Amino acid sequence: MEEKIEISILLSLYGNLLTETQKKYMELYYNEDFSLSEIGDNENITRQAVRTILVKSKKKLQEYEKKLKFKQKENKINTLLQDLQKTKLDEKQEKIIKKIEDKLDF
């Protein structure tokens, strides 16, 4: 289950770098919980063809993260913001943190 969440996060970060077909199948499988057979039936391709596309797409997403590290950077920023919120902050500082969180979509 954790792997599906991980891939879903990578898909939200890098999905637009995939082809339309790759993105569509990944969203159906990882976000909409379609089975390989359901995707294949809907797209008139074999279950194995769907699996091949998903495996290649997953590998691409992982390569993008390895090179660009957006998820890693986002996690670091989130951790730092959480640590900062544990300290005594004035109202202005709290507003700045809120703006950062909103911009980063946490």
pLDDT value, residue 103? 83
Q: How far is CA 25 from CA 19, 33, 44, 50, 84, in A?
A: 10, 11, 13, 7, 39
pLDDT value, residue 97? 86
Spatial separation of the C-alpha atoms in residues 84 and 5, rounded to whole Å = 26
36-57 pLDDT, tens digit per residue, is 999 999 999 999 999 999 999 9
- The token pair that represents 15 in the structure block: 């999905």
Count Cβ atoms below 10 Å from residue 41 Cβ, excluding itself.
Answer: 14
pTM of the model: 0.78
pLDDT value, residue 59? 98
Please state the rounded mean pLDDT for residues 15-44. 97
User: 26 exposed, middle or buried (CB, 10 Å; 0-12, 13-18, 19+)?
Assistant: buried
* H or E element, residue 98: helix 91-104
91 Cβ contact partners less than 8 Å away, ≥ 6 residues apart: none
32 Cβ contact partners less than 8 Å away, ≥ 6 residues apart: none
pLDDT value, residue 28? 98
48-84 pLDDT, tens digit per residue, is 999 999 999 999 999 999 999 999 998 898 898 888 8
